[in-house]
Amino acid sequence: MSEEPLLSVENLRTTFTTDQEQIRAVDGVSFSVPSRQTLGVVGESGSGKSVTARSILGLVDAPGEVHPDSEIRYHDPTFVQQIARKYPDQVQWDDDGDGFVTVEAGSGEGDSVTVERGSVDLVAAPDTVVRSVRGSEIAMVFQDALSSLNPVYTVGNQIRELLGIHQGVTGSEATERAAELLESVGIPDPKRRLDEYPHQFSGGMQQRAVIALALACDPSVLLCDEPTTALDVTIQAQILELLERLQRERGLSIVFITHDMGVIAQVADSVAVMYAGEIVERASVSRLFDDPKHPYARGLLQSIPGLTGDVDRLPTIDGSVPTPNEPATYCRYAPRCPKAFEECETIHPEHVSVGEGDHTAACLLYPESAGLAERLDRHHDTEETHE
Amino acid sequence: MSRLRYFLRRLVLSIPVLYFGATLTFVIFRFGPIDPAAAIVGETATEASQAEYLRVREQLGLEQPVFEHYRKFMVDFFTFDLGQSWVLAPGTDVVDLLVIYGPRTMWIVLWAVLIPIFVGIPLGVYAGLHSNTFTDYLISMFGIIWRAMPNFWLAIILLAVLSQSDALLGFDWNSFLADTSVTGTPDLSNLTSVDGFIAATKKVLPAAVVLGSASMGSELRIARTAVLETINSSYVETAKANGVSRRSLVWKHILRNALVPLVPTITNEAFLLIGGSVIVEVVFGINGLGWLFFQSAQNGDLPLVTALVFVFIVVVVLMNIIQDLLYLLIDPRVGYGGR
């Protein structure tokens, strides 16, 4: 995938500090989301998927903290230009300087600068900038639809509020627009539904309403945190279809977080497999399903009924995800890995290319062409240059 | 309109409560340990007083068959014919006594409800929004202490401090803002004028603070907990992720939800205030309903006591209805799904 990314995350580290220890919930995650594409993030509970999504929008509350060296870059030229004009002294050309607005291609200066290509670093940017991103540029859909809606206000009231904030639309026009939004997410009889409360909606309708809320601000990126997990399979399929249609119609980029490989297969263009705060494999969706490289990704795929043929017992991955509370100097999957060997305990694997395109995996087994000593050397080296 | 139906059902359900309460009052009046007529007449040793005793029994209806007496008693109560006082103010209608004594108590209770609402709840909300900070700890500790102080003790201490405010606080409470003494009955005849309002308010303020102290503590604690709970809910996070400003988050999304557990606390505390006002009125020498109730019970003025008990029952039931109404206004989920 060679398209320009719309959202890119570089070495994201989010830690939670308690009296006893520091939990590295997200530990050096990098990925990028191309425009109009869907990135699937998959992994078990506790692998840091949700924290990654929350970090992007600055929603991690104390004692959680996004490490200042992390980068979360948003590349929409219109937005970058708007911020560049608002904060002229923060503009840096081609990564040269320490401002949070990077302009790669553009012209002019000060508040008349035009940006053709560039990015805003949401980690370094002040709160007001991050707040202006929330909803209007990057919006989020959470897992539990009913608890995502405020129980004491009508659905229409909540949508109108967002329309007022992001698009300055109020009154009967806002009502009109809210009804259109509900209709576009497939809620029948939207005019009447606007005056109903969330508890009067069914589960699937609630999730549609939550999606309508997120779309009220016309974002470019939609972060979906397990939006279909609480729904039954038929409704789940409807919601996935809805998301696909909305992506086509509105040109959305979607980050889709789930633990369900089946969902990934349906919606994602590319996939990042997360384990214990790290991405262990990155691939296009077809590559991942055809030829998974990392033992963890293999384990996940093998444990799906139907993919492994007609067997009595499904293979499982024993144990559970460890809590990452120290810097990774070893492979975090090693204790559960069927292919682990001695060096896995002492060397932290880095991402290496394991196939065509952007297929990479972080495992000491790769690159396959090299001998063991060479492989160890390679992972060892990259680690040192990284520090 | 299932919500309207819900409210109407609650309204209808309060009738049996009133009926049962009134019946219980009748049972105590007729079969209780105190003979009402004996308490009214006093000595019954002489021939004359014996005749008087029988006459009083006749008048109180105690000589009638139970069921006929019961029927008459209930009809009187439900038509608000509350009878007369026999001992404390012989021959005065209970309704007249209520008109004289009631407003004073209402005035104290009003302030005792308002002070916790306007001091306790904002403090609690602030503590909840800034949880685990120094201010939060300070406010929470204040809430616990305030909650823990018993009414009768606080009343006496406040009385002692305020009557020597010159020496203890450096200013004279009696002449502060308006000329009033610490104890005594407030003058409610002038409430429409500014001076009269201030004087009447200041007069009952110590009593209201004492009466409201416990409610203030608990409302503070519950407001804090409710805000904390709401602030961590996913709809607040969703609203935040969709770009809702902090001000709107707090005022629109958090506060209204936090009110849901607060409403029953406020109304429940208000019931307690009516009972609690007995002690406080006696300590501060305010001639209100609480004082009247205390005196009538002490003197065995059973007709007056039963009438007052019935009035209290009506007030409590009314409060319950107000609580249901507030619930309906605040939380749209109430009444949904009920038949």
Q: Is the pLDDT of residue A308 over 60?
A: no
| B72 and B206 together in one domain | no
Q: Distance from first CA to last CA of chain A, Å, rounded?
A: 28
Give the domain CATH number at B205: 1.10.3720.10
The encoded tokens of residue B87 equal 């001992």
How far is residue B246's CA from residue B199's CA, in Å, rounded to a whole number? Answer: 41
Buried b (16+ CB within 10 A) or exposed e, B174-211: eeeebebebeebbeeeeeeeeebeebbbbbbbbbbbbb
At position B55, the amino acid (one-letter code) is R
Cβ atoms A136, A218 nearer than 8 A: yes
What digits encode the pLDDT tens for the residues B99-116? Answer: 888 888 888 888 888 988
Residue A178 pLDDT class (50, 70, 90 cuts): very high
What digits encode the pLDDT tens for the residues B154-187? Answer: 888 988 888 887 777 777 777 777 777 777 778 7
| B244 and B306 together in one domain | no
Q: Sketch the domain layout of chain A as residue ranges.
A: 146-219, 293-381
The sign one gets for the Cα dihedral A102, A107, A109, A112 is negative
How far is residue B304's CA from residue B297's CA, in Å, rounded to a whole number? Answer: 8
User: According to the model, what pLDDT value does residue A41 have?
Assistant: 93
CB contact under 8 A, B239 and A150: yes
| B172 and B280 together in one domain | yes
What digits encode the pLDDT tens for the residues B132-155? Answer: 899 999 999 989 988 888 888 888
User: According to the model, what pLDDT value does residue B126 have?
Assistant: 93
| B256 and B273 together in one domain | yes
CB contact under 8 A, B238 and A217: no
CB contact under 8 A, A161 and B244: yes
| B109 and B172 together in one domain | yes
Nearest to B242 among A132, A153, A217 (CB): A217
Q: Which residue has the tokens 């694997």?
A: A349
The encoded tokens of residue B11 equal 């309204």
With a pLDDT cut of 90, the percent of chain A lying above it is 20
User: How high is the mean pLDDT of chain A?
Assistant: 85
What digits encode the pLDDT tens for the residues A44-70? Answer: 888 888 899 989 988 888 788 888 888
Nearest one of A148, A166, A142 to A217, comparing CA atoms: A166
Nearest to B235 among A57, A150, A216 (CB): A150
What digits encode the pLDDT tens for the residues B254-298? Answer: 988 998 888 888 888 777 777 777 788 888 888 888 888 888 888
User: According to the model, what pLDDT value does residue A387 have?
Assistant: 38
Residue B339 pLDDT class (50, 70, 90 cuts): very low
Beta-bridge partner residues of A253: A221
ipTM summary value: 0.81
| B81 and B3 together in one domain | yes
At position A204, the amino acid (one-letter code) is G
Nearest one of B271, B292, B275, B291 to B283, comparing CA atoms: B291
Surface of B (99-138) touching A: CB under 8 A: none
Residue A2 pLDDT class (50, 70, 90 cuts): very low
Which residues of chain A have a Cβ shorter than 8 Å from any chain B Cβ? Answer: 57, 59, 131-136, 139-140, 142, 144, 147-154, 158, 161-162, 165-166, 197, 199-200, 210, 213-214, 216-217, 223
Cβ atoms A30, A10 nearer than 8 A: yes
| B224 and B140 together in one domain | yes
Residue A227 pLDDT class (50, 70, 90 cuts): confident
- Quote the pTM value: 0.79
Q: Which ranges of A57-202 does DSSP label H, i.e. alpha helix?
A: 77-86, 127-133, 145-148, 155-167, 171-184, 190-194
CB contact under 8 A, B333 and A135: no
| B9 and B130 together in one domain | no
Cβ atoms A260, A229 nearer than 8 A: yes
What digits encode the pLDDT tens for the residues B28-38? Answer: 888 888 777 87
Rounded mean pLDDT, B306-321 = 88
The encoded tokens of residue A1 equal 């995938």
| B28 and B124 together in one domain | no
How far is residue B120's CA from residue B214's CA, in Å, rounded to a whole number? Answer: 10
The encoded tokens of residue A387 equal 């520090």
User: According to the model, what pLDDT value does residue B20 have?
Assistant: 93
Residue B336 pLDDT class (50, 70, 90 cuts): low
Residue with the bigger pLDDT between B16 and A315: it is B16
CB contact under 8 A, A142 and B237: yes
**Chain A contacts of B234, Cβ < 8 Å?**
142, 144, 147-148
Surface of B (135-194) touching A: CB under 8 A: none
- Overall number of domains in chain B: 2
User: According to the model, what pLDDT value does residue A255 have?
Assistant: 93
| B117 and B218 together in one domain | yes
Q: Which domain holds residue B109?
A: 95-298
Cβ atoms A27, A278 nearer than 8 A: yes
Q: Is the pLDDT of residue B226 over 80?
A: yes
B222 Cβ contact partners less than 8 Å away, ≥ 6 residues apart: B124, B261, B262, B265
- Output the 3-class SS for B96-161: HHHHHHHHHHHHHHHHHHHHHHHHHHHHHHHHHHCCCCHHHHHHHHHHHHHHHCCHHHHHHHHHHH
Q: Is the pLDDT of residue B44 over 70?
A: no
What digits encode the pLDDT tens for the residues A228-246? Answer: 887 888 888 888 999 999 9
Q: Which residue of B has its CA nearest to A218?
A: B242
Q: Is the pLDDT of residue A385 over 60?
A: no
Cβ atoms A297, A264 nearer than 8 A: no
With a pLDDT cut of 90, the percent of chain B lying above it is 13
DSSP letters for A292-360: --SHHHHHHHHTSTTTS-S-SS-----S------S--SS-TTGGG-TT--GGGGT----EEE-SSTT-E
Q: Is the pLDDT of residue B206 over 80?
A: yes
Buried b (16+ CB within 10 A) or exposed e, B314-333: bbbbebbeebbebbbebbbb
| B104 and B243 together in one domain | yes
For residue A234, give the 3-state DSSP assignment.
helix
Cβ atoms A170, A253 nearer than 8 A: no
